[in-house]
Amino acid sequence: MKNRRGKLYNAKTPLTIPRIDFIREELKKDATSLTVDHARPNVNIQERINEASLQLKNIFQDIRNEGKIQLDKIVLIKAKVAPVIAEAAKNPDVYYLFEELQANNEYTYKHNIGVGIIATYLGMKLGLSKENLSALTLAATLHDVGKTRIPDSILEKPGKLTAAEYEEMKRHAIYGYELLKSIPGIPPSIALTALQHHEREDGKGYPHGLMGNDIHHHAKIVAIADVFHAMSSNRVYHRAMPFYKVIEQMNSDKFGKFNPEILMEFVNRLMSTLVGKEVTLTNGRNGTIIMIDPYDPLKALLKTGTEIIDLRMEKEWQIERIIG
């Protein structure tokens, strides 16, 4: 296969899916020693996100052209990209970044930044240690690095993929693992997250069809961040879903596809950041969220002018989008 510049992908190295017993051993011995530098706090965070996205784009293009990941690329991500993600995730009003996190163009690169911020935010709320959180940030940022081995004709195809194209797209999880597994100085969780972020709790994910404890904890977090960001973004083959549809879909998956404790924590934390935000409802009216029902987060209490709207009572109305 050739990339957009006509260079051949290296097809000499046989592609192997790691054995499940090996994966279990990697899960047991995973340890981290990464750190994150929270520098330049006064620089506009949205500008820094854009800068980080451009840096990651250049890094991914180098990986695509070289067919491997040099250690200096990991060092650059840890030094230049990870601190931006960590800073953005620390903001208690993380939803103000939502428009920046939506990947309206250059999806492959902005998606990795968006997933990094969402996963790091969630990891903080789950109480991960500093070392684990730093490893999660790096894993989330690199979770789709295997797509550097997928032809642009598939990545950027505006229509539905053929069965063969879809099978090739799914192999990005294995490609990512192959690229990351032998890099010195990074924990096994980085490669495992790339391999497992499409695994699902019900065993219906890929590439192994794993369930439960056979999926790394970081991969479970990244899976939620990955799906949330993907559904919330415009892509070449579909428009972003309305906000309520995204949350409804994720809620419906909490006892099947995703770890329910992690997903419930994410949805409840996300919705709590929306108190005080202006939203547009599916009936076209705007209102400000004044209270969230913790048992049914989408059924918020809103103020619109002098009127109070209780979405628990208005069954046909939903939150279409967040204005700010």
Segment 227-277, tens digit of pLDDT: 998 888 776 666 778 888 888 888 877 778 999 999 989 988 888 888 888
Structural domain contains residue 13: no
CA distances from 53 to 153, 183, 213, 309 (A): 22, 22, 33, 39
Domain of 313? 278-322
CA–CA gap between residue 81 and residue 50 (Å, rounded): 10
In a domain, 254, yes or no: no
Give the pLDDT band of residue 103 (cuts 50, 70, 90): very low
pLDDT confidence of 5, banded at 50, 70, 90?
A: very low
Separation CA 51–CA 56 (nearest Å): 9
β partners of residue 288: 278, 303
User: Where residue 314 falls among pLDDT bands split at 50, 70, 90?
Assistant: confident
Examine the pLDDT at 10 and tell me if it is beyond 60.
no
Question: Is there a domain that residue 4 lies in?
Answer: no
> Each residue of 302-311: pLDDT tens digit?
998 889 999 9
Predicted local distance difference test score (pLDDT) of residue 25: 57
- Which residue type is seen at 112? N
- Residue 168 CA to residue 175 CA, distance in Å, equals 10
Residues in the chain: 324
Q: Which of 73, 78, 110, 147 is catalytic?
A: 147
The stretch 77-84 carries a mean pLDDT of 95
Co-location of 176 and 235 in the same domain: yes
Burial class (CB in 10 A: 0-12, 13-18, 19+), 314: middle
Question: Which range, of 135-139, 170-174, 283-287, averages the lowest pLDDT?
Answer: 283-287
Active-site annotation holds for 315: no
Indicate if 31 and 164 belong to the same structural domain: yes
Q: How far apart are CA 240 and CA 229, in angstroms?
A: 9
Would you tell me how many other CB atoms lie within 10 Å of the CB of residue 166?
11
Q: What is the pLDDT of residue 224?
A: 95
Q: How far apart are CA 194 and CA 144, in angstroms?
A: 6
Q: Give the total number of structural domains in the chain.
A: 2
Position 132 confidence tier, pLDDT thresholds 50, 70, 90: very high
Residue 178 in this model has a pLDDT that exceeds 90: yes
Model-wide pTM > 0.85:
no
Regarding whether 54 and 157 lie in a shared domain, the answer is yes
Q: What is the mean pLDDT of the chain?
A: 83
Give 15-38 pLDDT, tens digit per residue. 555 555 555 555 555 544 333 333
**Would residue 62 count as lying in a domain?**
yes
Q: Are residues 61 and 173 in the same domain?
A: yes
For residue 42, what pLDDT band results from cuts at 50, 70 and 90?
very low
In a domain, 186, yes or no: yes
